[in-house]
Amino acid sequence: MEKGINLSLIKPSEFEALLEKTINKISTKKLSLISEMGNSSVGNHVEILSDEEIPVFWIGNICKGNKEGKSCFGIEFDGGMCPEKSWDKLNKLIGTSGKYYSEVGFDFANLNRIVFIIFPLKDEYLKQFYDESIDQNAQAKTLAEFINEVLGKL
């Protein structure tokens, strides 16, 4: 049993390793990390490998200027990069919630006026990613189910 990760203490590369391990197990869609787009935040860009036009998404820390000190983790889609078909579906989900994600919202990038559609991981599951006593297999299972739930909405 591998020690769990604590998102407030880990290096981005440690989360990327868990994410890579997780997306290799996801069966609903073929996914691939886009390492050249990564940055110093905890998380990474992921693309869906298919013939359809489906957007790249970010999974990881989704806090943008969060002054409340609240932990923010989830999936984020850049509205400016979404194909029209996906944008329409994502836009209709704003204000809804699911088993793993709390209310879908949006955020604007101040300078570029680009909207981001955000699926935040529910607090009860988020706690798993700040507790090293939970093993990585449990974290990977939650992460996979969260990703599958969100991608199932596309």
CATH number at residue 32: 3.30.1460
* Full pLDDT tens readout for the chain, 154 residues: 678 888 888 888 888 888 888 887 775 667 877 765 455 577 887 877 765 666 788 888 887 555 555 668 899 888 777 888 888 888 899 999 999 999 998 887 666 667 888 999 999 999 998 888 888 899 999 999 999 999 888 7
Per the structure, the count of domains in the chain is 1
Q: Judge contact between 122 and 73, C-beta under 8 A.
A: no
Domain extent at residue 112:
12-151
Q: Judge contact between 46 and 59, C-beta under 8 A.
A: yes
Instruction: Write out the E strands in 10-153.
Output: 31-33, 43-48, 57-61, 73-78, 105-109, 114-120
Amino acid at 47: E
Residue 65 belongs to a domain: yes
Residue 116 belongs to a domain: yes
Residue 5 belongs to a domain: no
Residue 68 belongs to a domain: yes
Residue 73 belongs to a domain: yes
Residue 3 belongs to a domain: no
**pLDDT score, position 121:** 94
